[in-house]
Amino acid sequence: MRSSLLFGLLPLAHAVRVIQSNDDGWAEINVRTFFNSLAGAGHDVVLSGPAENQSGRSSLDAPPTTVDSDGCQFQSCPGGSPPTGANASDPRLNYVNSFPVTSIKTGIDTTGPNIFNGGGKPEIALTGPNVGSNLDIQVPFSGTVGAAVFAAHDRKIPALAFSGASGEPTAFNQPAPLYSKVYADLALNVTSTIIASGTPYLPNDVWLNINFPKVSDSKCSKASDFKFVLSRINLGIFSAKDTLWCGTDRLPMERTVINSGCFASISPGDAADKTTVDAARQKQVLDKLKPILSCLP
């Protein structure tokens, strides 16, 4: 039985139009496992990811080009394929031979509306789970973050970026590792909570940076082992106060959270500059996520 069925914390949420992307490539196992979880939950989901691993490409954007002679990553498309394309057996799985921002932009503007039931633009954008964490100083360079920030800032679509500390790039057609399944369950839980909170899902120009700690057979081995903690992206020694939560007006740093055990960090970010958002919008996010939030011990 899948761990999500045992989690018991997933809130009820209606199905929505989801655009999904990442920076590790459209054929990486994490993004495909999460895609399957979203589709299994009834969401109208379209994946539009880079044809190749584009980690660390931040917010770069360029027109897609014809695929090189060696094909897409993990031989997921043949050499010489068009600049954009879809899986032959599932048109909801799409590649864009360019950067993560270009990939999600193509999905938002073109691929998604052409595929979604009834048309229309995506209602929420989800990127990742990234292979590896995206914490504090890593955030500005992450393509997974860059794609989410583009959706939130340039297209005004609420966006969540997920990253996990475990794993290495793995092909879509390999057995899903334990960490991929756990991260997909956790990401679905956060997504469902945001959707269940009602529209607008996030404040204007806000995205969420969500980081999961390592998963192992002996520790943090299933979604129900984890707790979510509201956090901040960048060090706030000289910044304005955060929203009041867990008895303090200073939220913990993301790295502190995921180094504390089976705790996942959720940081509301400003899509204009990828830094921690102001206290007023932190409070709006806090109110939406309260059903799943905990405090560090």
- Domain parsing of the chain, residue ranges: 3-292
* Residue 242 pLDDT > 90: yes
The pLDDT tens digits for 94-124 are 999 999 999 999 999 999 999 999 899 999 9
The pLDDT tens digits for 169-194 are 999 999 999 999 999 999 999 999 99
Question: At 235, is the pLDDT very low, low, confident or very high (cuts 50, 70, 90)?
Answer: confident
The percentage of residues in the chain with a pLDDT greater than 90, rounded to a whole number, is 92
- 229 close to 255: Cβ distance less than 8 angstroms: no
Looking at residues 13-17, what average pLDDT do you find? 87
Residue 80 neighbours by CB distance under 10 Å: 10
Note the pLDDT of residue 5: 36
Note the pLDDT of residue 239: 83
For 8-38, give one letter per residue: b (16+ CB within 10 A) or e.
ebbeebeebbbbbbbbbbbbbbbbbbbbebb
- The top-scoring range by mean pLDDT among 5-14, 45-54, 235-244 is 45-54
**Mean pLDDT score of the chain, rounded to an integer?**
95
* Residue 253 pLDDT > 60: yes
Note the pLDDT of residue 4: 38
3-292 maps to which CATH number? 3.40.1210.10
* Residue 8 pLDDT > 80: no
* Residue 262 pLDDT > 50: yes
Look at residues 38, 3, 11, 16 and name the one whose alpha carbon lies nearest to residue 290: 11
* Residue 6 pLDDT > 60: no
Note the pTM of the prediction, 2 decimals: 0.95
Show the DSSP H helices in 48-167 as ranges: 100-106, 112-115, 143-154
The pLDDT tens digits for 50-100 are 999 999 999 999 999 999 999 999 999 999 999 999 999 999 999 999 999
Q: What whole-number distance in Å separates Cα of residue 171 and Cα of residue 165? A: 18
Looking at residues 27-42, what average pLDDT do you find? 98
Looking at residues 240-267, what average pLDDT do you find? 97
Question: At 238, is the pLDDT very low, low, confident or very high (cuts 50, 70, 90)?
Answer: confident
| Residue 253 DSSP label | B
283 CA to centre of own chain: 21
